Amino acid sequence: MKVLVINCGSSSLKYQVLDMTNESLQAKGLVERIGMEGSVITHEKIGNDDKFVLRTPMEDHKAAIALVLDAITDDVHGVVKSMDEIGAVGHRVVHAGEKYAESVLIDDDVIEVLEDCIDLAPLHNPPNLLGIAACKELMPDTPMVAVFDTAFHQTMPPESYIYALPYEYYQKYGIRRYGFHGTSHSYVSKRAAQILGKDIKDLKIIVCHLGNGASISAVKDGKCIDTSMGLTPLEGLIMGTRTGDIDPSVVEFVMKKENSTVADVTNLLNKKSGVYGLSNNLSSDFRDLEDAYLKGDEGAKRAVDAFTYRVAKYIGSYTAAMGGVDVICFTAGVGENSGFTRGLICERLSFLGATVDAEANKVRGEEKTISAADSKVLLMVVPTNEELAIARDTYELCK
Ligand code: ADP
């Protein structure tokens, strides 16, 4: 069976086609600037050197998905002869509130739940729903599965997900920590156990998903018991442009000083802060920050030091939460590629008896154990693969 995986954003859409008989990637692509001037689809058939790029107006998500279907059935660049060969579609959906702890087959009830969750993810759930609606119209007979960013974290106990607000705010509005990047945390923790040839139930694992958005999770007995993102993806680690944890009183303080609105400050916290803001707007990209750091740039040093300190601090607290740690995994853009940043984080972990093998830590984008032979904790690079995880869940529910 071939599965189409769709990850729909407000103006962009990523997709992949996977053949689940051997879990091989057949094609992948990106649609950008949906509903805007200059819309473009970039499609790649795996094994073909040439990418297929088409610039054409796309007024909405339905038009974008119609072009995706054209691309994957195209005589030259396509990977299926007709859409009948696509057995199911897997959609990445950001927020399922407390409703789903697992992936589900999409029906009208599921769509209703996701609509109810729009309040919790106003930027993400609406485009996810648009993608689902468009596929339903264009492929009415193909089953669809929703795979949620929040699902893996639903096993967190109340003591770790509850905010110390009056309890009625949780009861009335569902204000609590939900966590995100769940598909990645789930995939990486399972994969680490598999690589080590151990039962995940016997391991205490910390997964550091360090990309533009960054989060960390504590996985004990195969279950998430804590994660750093909260009601929204703003909480926790310092990120590319997001603050992560701050004192909420900063909001009112900045509003008064700058005579600004809540929306202005929310934008500041999400888009202008993080390592970008800390480096005096030098960059949110760790490649630039690493170069500048090594040239002695103070802003880059301030940003990277604060970032690595925060990651190490969370590792310490999750070690306490789990009563120990066996494996620490690094994943996503920074975690997979930046030996420099991993090295700085691990330098802060000597209290755990964790030591890095400098040579192994040069690895980029490959599965590898990077701890020294005498390290008391295993340190691993495990590249994430959210699309494969989505395709697997989709296949399991539709085969
Ligand atoms: P997201 O999915 O949250 O947008 P990614 O996981 O794709 O982010 O990570 C993107 C980030 O990864 C980039 O902004 C950059 O900081 C970092 N990155 C990618 N490659 C490298 C590299 N070779 N060295 C350091 N950082 C890298």
Contacts of 274 (CB under 8 A, 6+ apart): 238, 239, 240, 241, 242, 243, 244, 284, 303
Q: Cα angle vertex 389, ends 385, 392, to 5°? A: 140
Is the model's pLDDT at 176 over the cut of 90? yes
Cβ atoms < 10 Å from Cβ of 295: 8
Please tell me if the CB atom of residue 207 comes closer than 6 angstroms to any atom of ligand 1: no
Residues 7, 132 contacting (CB under 8 angstroms)? no
For 293, list phi and psi in degrees, rounded to 5. -60, -45
pLDDT of residue 50: 82
Q: pTM, whole model, 2 decimals?
A: 0.95
pLDDT of residue 122: 86
pLDDT of residue 48: 86
Q: Which residues of 381-397 are buried (b: 16+ CB within 10 A; e: fewer)?
A: bbbbbbbbbbbbbbbeb
Residues 227, 217 contacting (CB under 8 angstroms)? yes
Q: What percentage of the chain has pLDDT greater than the value 90? A: 96
Is the model's pLDDT at 185 over the cut of 90? yes
pLDDT of residue 38: 94
Please tell me if the CB atom of residue 233 comes closer than 6 angstroms to any atom of ligand 1: no
pLDDT tens digits, one per residue of 234-263: 999 999 999 999 999 999 999 999 999 999
pLDDT tens digits, one per residue of 131-155: 999 999 999 999 999 999 999 999 9
Please tell me if the CB atom of residue 385 comes closer than 6 angstroms to any atom of ligand 1: no
Helix, strand and coil content of the chain, in percent to the nearest 5, comes to: 40, 20, 40
Cβ atoms < 10 Å from Cβ of 265: 17
Mean pLDDT of 164-190: 97
Q: How far is the CA of 340 from the centre of ligand 1 (A)?
A: 13
Mean pLDDT of 61-78: 94
Question: What is d(CA 310, CA 245) in angstroms, rounded to the nearest whole number?
Answer: 9
> Per-residue confidence at 306, pLDDT binned at 50, 70, 90?
very high
Q: How far is the CA of 181 from the centre of ligand 1 (A)?
A: 15
Q: How far is the CA of 353 from the centre of ligand 1 (A)?
A: 28
Please tell me if the CB atom of residue 106 comes closer than 6 angstroms to any atom of ligand 1: no
Please tell me if the CB atom of residue 286 comes closer than 6 angstroms to any atom of ligand 1: yes
pLDDT of residue 103: 97
The amino acid at 141: D
Question: What is d(CA 72, CA 2) in angstroms, rounded to the nearest whole number?
Answer: 11
Please tell me if the CB atom of residue 183 comes closer than 6 angstroms to any atom of ligand 1: no
Cα separation values, 258 from 147, 255, 271, 360, Å: 41, 5, 17, 48
* Ramachandran assignment for 385, one of left (phi > 0), alpha (psi -120 to 50 degrees), beta (any other): beta
Mean pLDDT of 206-229: 97
Please tell me if the CB atom of residue 179 comes closer than 6 angstroms to any atom of ligand 1: no
pLDDT of residue 112: 95
Mean pLDDT of 82-102: 95
Question: What is d(CA 226, CA 73) in angstroms, rounded to the nearest whole number?
Answer: 43
Please tell me if the CB atom of residue 7 comes closer than 6 angstroms to any atom of ligand 1: no
Mean pLDDT of 368-379: 98
pLDDT tens digits, one per residue of 93-129: 999 999 999 999 999 999 999 999 998 888 889 999 9
Q: How far is the CA of 30 from the centre of ligand 1 (A)?
A: 17
**Which atom, in ligand 1's list, is nearest to the CA of 209?**
6
Sheet with 2-8, strands from edge to edge, namely 52-55, 40-45, 24-32, 13-19, 2-8, 86-93, 144-148, 104-105
Q: How far is the CA of 333 from the centre of ligand 1 (A)?
A: 3
Please tell me if the CB atom of residue 307 comes closer than 6 angstroms to any atom of ligand 1: no
Is the model's pLDDT at 277 over the cut of 90? yes
**Which atom, in ligand 1's list, is nearest to the CA of 239?**
3
Q: How far is the CA of 109 from the centre of ligand 1 (A)?
A: 37
Q: What percentage of the chain has pLDDT greater than the value 70? A: 100
Question: Atom 13, ligand 1: which residue's CA is nearest?
Answer: 285
Cα 185 from chain centre: 8
pLDDT of residue 123: 83
Beta-strand pair 204-210/40-45: unpaired
149 classed as catalytic: yes
**Which atom, in ligand 1's list, is nearest to the CA of 212?**
3
Q: How far is the CA of 105 from the centre of ligand 1 (A)?
A: 32
- Mean of per-residue pLDDT scores for the chain: 96
pLDDT tens digits, one per residue of 308-343: 999 999 999 999 999 999 999 999 999 999 999 999
Question: What is d(CA 316, CA 350) in angstroms, rounded to the nearest whole number?
Answer: 11
Question: Atom 4, ligand 1: which residue's CA is nearest?
Answer: 212
Question: Atom 22, ligand 1: which residue's CA is nearest?
Answer: 337
Which of the residues 60, 149, 226, 247 is marked catalytic? Answer: 149
